[in-house]
Amino acid sequence: MCSRFKIARPIAAAKLLVACALAVFALSFNGGASGQDQNKSEQKTIDPKAWGGNHAGQPIPDYVHGDECLFCHRNNIGLTWQKNAHGVAVRQREDAPELTKMLESQPALAGVAKQVEYFLGSRHRVRFLKKDGYGKFTMLNAQAALGADGQTAKLIDYEKLAWDKEKFANRCAGCHSTAVDPETKAFSAFGLDCYTCHGSVDLNHSNNTSLVLLSKKRRNDAKVITSLCAQCHLRGSSSRSTGLPYPNNFVAGDNLFQDLEVDWARADDEKLNAGERHIWRNARDVALYGNESITCLNCHAVHGNSSFKHRRVLRAPICAECHQGEGFKNVKRYEVHSASCEY
Ligand code: HEC
Ligand code: HEC
Ligand code: HEC
Ligand code: HEC
Ligand code: HEC
Ligand code: HEC
C-alpha cells in the first residue's frame, strides 16, 4: 500500500504520510465498527516471513568486534556509548562504580557481594552475575529495583540467596549478550556489541558507507530495521527452531519472523503498558500490515539516546498509545514490566 511509493521530495513524503495515516485510521475504525469477517477483509495483511533469509541453526559468523569499531568511531559513537542504555546493558563491576557502591551498601548481600563480577541493567532493575566458563553467566536470584537517582535501591527476592547456572543461557542471553551460539547457548561477547544492530560489517565501508547497515545511506528499509530492533524488543516471543525465548542466531539484515513466533494480538492488548505496546504496534504495522511509513527510527535516535524527534512525526494512530485528547500535552503515565525479564 503506502510502501510501494518511492519518495523523493519532503512535500510528497509529508502528503504520503498523511494519506497513510488516514488510511490506517479508516481501517482501524472500520475494523472496530464491523464484524470479524469485514475486519479481516479491510485490514490487509502480508506474510511477515516472505522476504529475505535467516541464519537459524548456522554457525555464528565472524564479525568485527566493538573495540575495533570504536577505535575508528571513538569521536562520534565512542563519546556517548558508555552512557547509552544499550552500551551499558551488561557491565563489568569496575565499569559501574555507582552500582558497585549500591551493592556494597546492602547488608543483605554482604555474603555474596564479593562474588559479583557483572551487572545487568541500568535504569530500573539490576541483576547480579558472575562468569561461569566460556560465554556463560551464573545469575543471583536477588534483584535491585533502582530509585530515580539510579544509585539507591530496594532489594527483591533476597531472603534466600542462590546462584542459578542455567537461567541466563536459557532465558536471557539472546537479548542481553551478543552472538549466542544456538548449540551451546554461549555468548561471544557480554552485553550488546555493535554487531547486534549493525550486523557483520564489511571494513571496506570506510570508503563506501552503503556497505554498512544503519549508515545514512541504509537507514530506510523499514522491514530490516523493524526486524533488527524487534529481535530483542518483542518480549514474550519464542524461536520456532529452539523454543527459547529469543531468536536463533539472528544476524541484523535477516528476516526475524522466519524463526521467531510472535503473538501480534499483543499490539491490541489493553493490559500491556504503553512502553511495550507501542513497540508491538509499530512492529505489527510494518511486518504484518506492510505499512512502512513509521519505524522505530522515526522516533528514536539510538546513539543520541533520545526520542525527542518523535515530536516531529505527523499524527498517526500510534500516537494515541501515549497521548490522549486533542494536543500532545497530556501524556499517559505507564510503568514497564515484563515477565520475560522478571521485573
Ligand atoms: C540485542 C538486543 C537489542 C537490540 C537489537 C535492540 N535493543 Fe533496544 N534495548 C535492549 C535492552 C536490553 C535495553 C535495556 C538496557 C538496560 O537498561 O539495561 C534496551 C533499551 C532500549 C531503549 C530505552 C533506552 C532508554 O534510554 O530509555 C530504546 C528506546 C531502545 N532500546 C530502542 C531500540 C531500537 C530503536 C533498536 C533498533 C535500532 C533496538 N533498541 C535494538 C536490547 C536491544
Ligand atoms: C526477547 C529479548 C529479551 C529476553 C529473552 C530477556 N530480556 Fe531483559 N530486556 C529486554 C529488553 C528489550 C529490555 C528493555 C526494555 C525497556 O526498557 O522497555 C530488557 C530489560 C531488562 C531489565 C531492565 C533493565 C533496566 O534497568 O531497565 C532487566 C533487569 C532484564 N531485562 C533482565 C532480564 C533477565 C533476568 C532475563 C532472563 C530471565 C531477560 N531480561 C530476558 C529484552 C529481553
Ligand atoms: C541498539 C542498536 C545499535 C547498536 C548496538 C549500535 N548501533 Fe550504531 N546505529 C544504530 C542506529 C539505529 C543508527 C542510526 C542513527 C541513530 O539512530 O542513532 C546507528 C548509526 C551508527 C553510525 C552512524 C552515525 C551517524 O552519524 O549517522 C555509526 C558510525 C555507528 N552507528 C556505529 C556504531 C558502533 C561503533 C557501535 C558499537 C559500539 C554501534 N553503532 C552499536 C543502532 C545501533
Ligand atoms: C578502520 C576504521 C574503521 C573501522 C574499524 C570501522 N569503521 Fe565504520 N566507518 C569508518 C569510516 C572512515 C567511515 C566513513 C566516514 C564516517 O562516516 O565516519 C565509516 C562509516 C561508518 C558508518 C556510516 C556512517 C554514515 O555517515 O552513514 C557506520 C554505521 C559505521 N561506520 C559503523 C561501523 C561499525 C559498526 C564498525 C565495527 C563493526 C565499524 N564501523 C568499524 C571507519 C571505520
Ligand atoms: C511514534 C513514535 C515512536 C515509535 C514509532 C516507536 N517509539 Fe519507542 N518510544 C517513543 C517515545 C516517545 C517513548 C517514550 C520516551 C520517554 O519516556 O522519554 C518511547 C519509549 C520506548 C522505550 C522505552 C520504554 C521504557 O520506558 O523503558 C523502548 C524500549 C522503545 N520505545 C522501543 C521502541 C522500538 C523497538 C520501536 C520500534 C519497533 C519503537 N520504540 C517505536 C516513541 C516511539
Ligand atoms: C511511547 C509513548 C509515546 C508515543 C507512542 C508518542 N509519544 Fe509523544 N510524548 C511522549 C512523552 C513521554 C512525551 C514527553 C517527553 C518527551 O518529549 O519525550 C511526549 C511529548 C510529545 C510532544 C511535546 C508535547 C509538549 O507539550 O511538550 C509532542 C508534540 C508529541 N509528543 C507528539 C507525538 C506524536 C505526533 C506522536 C505520534 C506520531 C507521539 N507523540 C507518540 C510519549 C509518546
Q: What is the pLDDT of residue 30?
A: 37
C-alpha–C-alpha distance, residues 292 and 283, integer Å: 10
Q: Which of 121, 122, 158 is nearest to 140 (CA)?
A: 158
How many Cα atoms within 13 Å fall on the side-chain side of residue 104? 10
The residue whose grid cell reads 475486519 is 39
pLDDT tens digits, 265-275 = 999 999 999 99
Per-residue pLDDT in tens (0 to 9) along the chain, 343 residues: 333 333 334 444 444 444 444 444 444 433 333 334 445 457 899 999 999 999 999 999 999 999 999 999 999 999 999 999 999 999 999 999 999 999 999 999 999 999 999 999 999 999 999 999 999 999 999 999 999 888 889 999 999 999 999 999 999 999 999 999 989 999 999 999 999 999 999 999 999 999 999 999 999 999 999 999 999 999 999 999 999 999 999 999 999 999 999 999 999 999 999 999 999 999 999 999 999 999 999 999 999 999 999 999 999 999 999 999 889 999 999 999 999 999 9
Q: What is the pLDDT of residue 41?
A: 55
C-alpha–C-alpha distance, residues 183 and 189, integer Å: 16
Is 279's C-beta closer than 6 angstroms to any atom of ligand 5?
yes
Q: Which of 283, 91, 318 is nearest to 189 (CA)?
A: 91
Is 301's C-beta closer than 6 angstroms to any atom of ligand 1?
no
Nearest residue (by CA) to ligand 5, atom 16, is 307
Distance of CA 158 from the midpoint of ligand 1 (Å): 27
Q: Which of 313, 332, 312, 330 is nearest to 322 (CA)?
A: 332
* Cβ–Cβ under 8 Å, residues 43 and 284: no
159 contact partners, CB below 8 Å, separation of at least 6: none
Cell numbers that stand for 88 in this block: 551499558
C-alpha–C-alpha distance, residues 321 and 323, integer Å: 6
C-alpha–C-alpha distance, residues 255 and 250, integer Å: 8
Distance of CA 279 from the midpoint of ligand 5 (Å): 7
Q: Which ligand is nearest to the CA of 321?
A: 6
C-alpha–C-alpha distance, residues 168 and 341, integer Å: 10
C-alpha–C-alpha distance, residues 42 and 36, integer Å: 10
Distance of CA 63 from the midpoint of ligand 3 (Å): 16
Choosing from 235, 246, 257, 282 the residue with most ligand 2 atoms within 8 A of its CB, the one to mutate for a pocket test is 235
Q: Which ligand is nearest to the CA of 203?
A: 4
Distances (CA, A) of 35 to 25, 265, 268: 17, 17, 17
C-alpha–C-alpha distance, residues 7 and 14, integer Å: 10
Q: Which of 292, 290, 294 is nearest to 321 (CA)?
A: 294
Distance of CA 71 from the midpoint of ligand 4 (Å): 10
Q: Per this entry, what is the length of the chain?
A: 343
C-alpha–C-alpha distance, residues 68 and 74, integer Å: 10
C-alpha–C-alpha distance, residues 195 and 8, integer Å: 30
Q: Which of 191, 147, 140, 182 is nearest to 162 (CA)?
A: 140
Distance of CA 341 from the midpoint of ligand 2 (Å): 5
Report the atom number in ligand 3 closest to the C-alpha of 228. 2
Distance of CA 302 from the midpoint of ligand 3 (Å): 7
35 contact partners, CB below 8 Å, separation of at least 6: none
Burial (Cβ within 10 Å: 0-12, 13-18, ≥19) of residue 198: buried
